[in-house]
Structure 1
Amino acid sequence: MTGSAFPTQTATDFKRKLDWFTPAERPKPQVFDGLVTAVQLQAGLGLHTLNATARQAFAVDGQRPPGAVLHCFLEGSTDARLDGKPMNLGRRNGEPVRLVLTAIDETQSFTRQSHENEYVRKVSIQMSHAWLDTYGFALPGTARAKGGQRMEWLASPEDVAALETLARFEGFTSPLVRLQAEATSLALLGRSFETLGTTPSLVPAGRALSDRECKQLRRIEDLARAFGALPSLRQLATEAGLSQSSLRRLVQSAYGRSPLEHVRHLRLHQIREDLERGHISIETAAELSGYSAASNFATAFRRTFGVTPSQVKRKTRSQIGDPR
């Protein structure tokens, strides 16, 4: 790596650059109860975390500069819009953690409407085009075309661990903490761009989803998370109020996969989360998975996560000191 990729910055420089919000976007001290951080890790690379509850309703009306942002909501959601279009960012209870990459090549308006007592725990990594070019990270497809682009995929367990680490940092005045945050952010970005570059089924969405489409997706996802037999394509289409072909197009444009594949991903991610928390046994997980046989469930689980349900359960027991 060249020297230009890691510009020398003093502690004073970092204190001056802790907040890369524009004046219009900068949250007022009285707005949140909780943790709000923003730090420039490198020239063109910024990290923002939020783990807080809004004390009052507030609105942000600003401009987003050209570049890319990797978004992840670990908990909560908010009404954010880019160029007037819903960004569809958030995570509801029981949903798998998702990563979203948005990229624009021209300055666009950014607005956010938050209500009183709105709780959000999120991580955002901001990248300028110059920073992306320095590292040779290529945005997929036509992401740098006019109008921008949005990509979404399910976070891996390794990604979730990195995001949780970033969300726990309480500040960045310590050089060691900044170094740890930078290393964690770079590793997360490296995995993300590897995913974007090597997953053929990950199809970029050329437009933002409408509120109606978001509600349709949530209905089928609620059905997917209702444990029992895996729903058929016909059942999913009926739940969404769409034809089967329209449902295929919607899920493909939103997630880059087929409806049934999306249902299986949701179900498996929820089961893994329950196993990691110690809420269910392996036998119960197999029953709840909706697969016709425990062996089919175990095979699908291993293909998705690279580990078996038994390995996840053993790791959970070792962490809580349960010798069983």
Structure 2
Amino acid sequence: MPAIPPPTIDKQRLRALSSPLVAQHELYAPDWDQRAPLLEGSMRMIQPQPGMYVRLADVRDRYDLISEAELPPGIRLALVLSGQARVRFGHHQLTLGPDTADGSMTQAMLVSLQETTGFQRFGRANGHERTLTITLTPAWLQRYLADHMAGRAWQDTLGQHLALVTWSPSYVVRELAQRLFAPLTETGPLPELSERLITEGCALALIGEALSGQHPPVREQRDLTRLREDRRLQRLRAMIDTGEAYCLTQDALAERLGMSHSSLQRQFRTHFGISLGRYLRVRRLQASRQALCEKGVSVEAAAALAGYTSAANFATAFKRQFGICPSACRQ
């Protein structure tokens, strides 16, 4: 009997599941042809309370995939039950999971967003993660926590933009979360009401652990060398975001940052799970697409912006990345 292929998630499905919670959702996968699914596995959204959203993702990346989005104000919590998740909220770069490289066993995080904030997820081809993500809107926070916000510990956690807590959740919370990913029992799937109540209980337990005050907010505890490297990567991200990096070779970038070329390549891949060259190519193509669509530049000018001397080569790369020809953006 042939093996049943795993379910897949394409771009439309991924964006549909994310659209209630993010804006300006962009997906970058250098080897993706736009026709193939991006992920294998399952992903679904549950809303146990008004203003509380729980997303369950048990997925494997089919490509090196960078997801970028703008997150509205609110609270984000994430619990990684297996595999690893590499994410960035503003200036916070995090690797979560029970088997992180440094053995920290940091499986959960809470971050407070007081304003719209940039977010990135860095997926690696064949990388797996089983993650429960909770979004709490300002309306939920006002409704459920207003009477408690006077406490200093809560203010430190929720009242400051990008205030961050990481911890390893209790065994009870982890087991409760695992049950949501394996809802089959001897009598069949969990009834809808039971699933909603278990999801609500798991989410409230995670929130309670994060705000219990039994673990301090994350502080910078790296040595001076690691801190200096982080600052260099933050500067590199700023150069990429402003477009300054597009005009420089990688050797020139490394010199600007006070690093060797090999060190820059190694640190970028370690932090973001993709080579710097691939990341820059995708970002240049994205900038060229924006110029074509919003500014009406010529295809030749867009090719130059993306770093291509040949309009034909640019058109091939553009169609591979976005599924359309550059000329279609100008119509």
Go from structure 1 to structure 2 and tell me whether the alpha carbon gap of 1:61 and 1:197 turns closer, same or farther (over 3 Å shift): closer
Query: How far does residue 32 in structure 1 lie from its aligned partner after superposition?
Result: 0.8
TM norm structure 2: 0.49
Are the counterparts in 2 of residues 101 and 151 from structure 1 also a CA contact under 8 Å? Answer: yes
Distance 1:95 1:158 in 2: 20
Are the counterparts in 2 of residues 80 and 110 from structure 1 also a CA contact under 8 Å? Answer: yes
Distance 1:118 1:110 in 2: 19
Query: How far does residue 39 in structure 1 lie from its aligned partner after superposition?
Result: 3.2
Distance 2:60 2:87 in 1: 16
SS at match of 1:41: strand
Work out whether 1:20 is the aligned partner of 2:27: no
Amino acid at match of 1:147: H
Amino acid at match of 1:150: L
What are the ranges of 5 or more consecutive residues in structure 1 without an aligned counterpart? 1-15, 216-324
Query: How far does residue 92 in structure 1 lie from its aligned partner after superposition?
Result: 0.7
Which residue is equivalent to 1:118?
127
* RMSD of equivalent CA atoms: 3.7
Residues 75-124 of structure 1: CA distance to partner in whole angstroms, max 9, x if unpaired?
11132111143033233178757332111111100111212111111111
Which residue is equivalent to 1:47?
54
Work out whether 1:100 is the aligned partner of 2:109: yes
Go from structure 1 to structure 2 and tell me whether the alpha carbon gap of 1:90 and 1:21 turns closer, same or farther (over 3 Å shift): same
Distance 2:47 2:173 in 1: 21
Work out whether 1:64 is the aligned partner of 2:71: yes
Distance 1:39 1:193 in 2: 16
- Percent identical among aligned pairs is 18
Distance 1:209 1:181 in 2: 41
Q: Given the alignment, which residue of 139, 142, 145 partners 1:133? A: 142
Query: How far does residue 195 in structure 1 lie from its aligned partner after superposition?
Result: 3.3
Are the counterparts in 2 of residues 69 and 101 from structure 1 also a CA contact under 8 Å? Answer: yes
Q: In the TM superposition, what are the counterparts of 1:162-311 in structure 2 within 5 Å?
A: 162-169=176-183, 177-199=191-213, 201-205=214-218, 212=226
Residues 169-188 of structure 1: CA distance to partner in whole angstroms, max 9, x if unpaired?
59xxxx97443333123222
Go from structure 1 to structure 2 and tell me whether the alpha carbon gap of 1:106 and 1:58 turns closer, same or farther (over 3 Å shift): same
Distance 1:208 1:68 in 2: 24
TM norm structure 1: 0.50
Greater relative contact order: 1 or 2 (C-alpha under 8 angstroms, separation 6 or more)?
A: 2
Are the counterparts in 2 of residues 74 and 97 from structure 1 also a CA contact under 8 Å? Answer: no
Amino acid at match of 2:154: P
Which residue is equivalent to 1:260?
none
Work out whether 1:143 is the aligned partner of 2:150: no
Which residue is equivalent to 1:3?
none
Which residue is equivalent to 1:227?
none
Amino acid at match of 2:94: M
Are the counterparts in 2 of residues 87 and 208 from structure 1 also a CA contact under 8 Å? Answer: no
Which residue is equivalent to 2:303?
none
Amino acid at match of 1:106: E
SS at match of 1:88: strand
Query: How far does residue 23 in structure 1 lie from its aligned partner after superposition?
Result: 6.3
Are the counterparts in 1 of residues 96 and 107 from structure 2 also a CA contact under 8 Å? Answer: no
Query: How far does residue 155 in structure 1 lie from its aligned partner after superposition?
Result: 1.5
Are the counterparts in 1 of residues 49 and 200 from structure 2 also a CA contact under 8 Å? Answer: no
Amino acid at match of 2:204: G
SS at match of 2:158: coil
Which residue is equivalent to 2:172?
158
Query: How far does residue 208 in structure 1 lie from its aligned partner after superposition?
Result: 9.8
Which residue is equivalent to 1:262?
none
SS at match of 1:106: coil
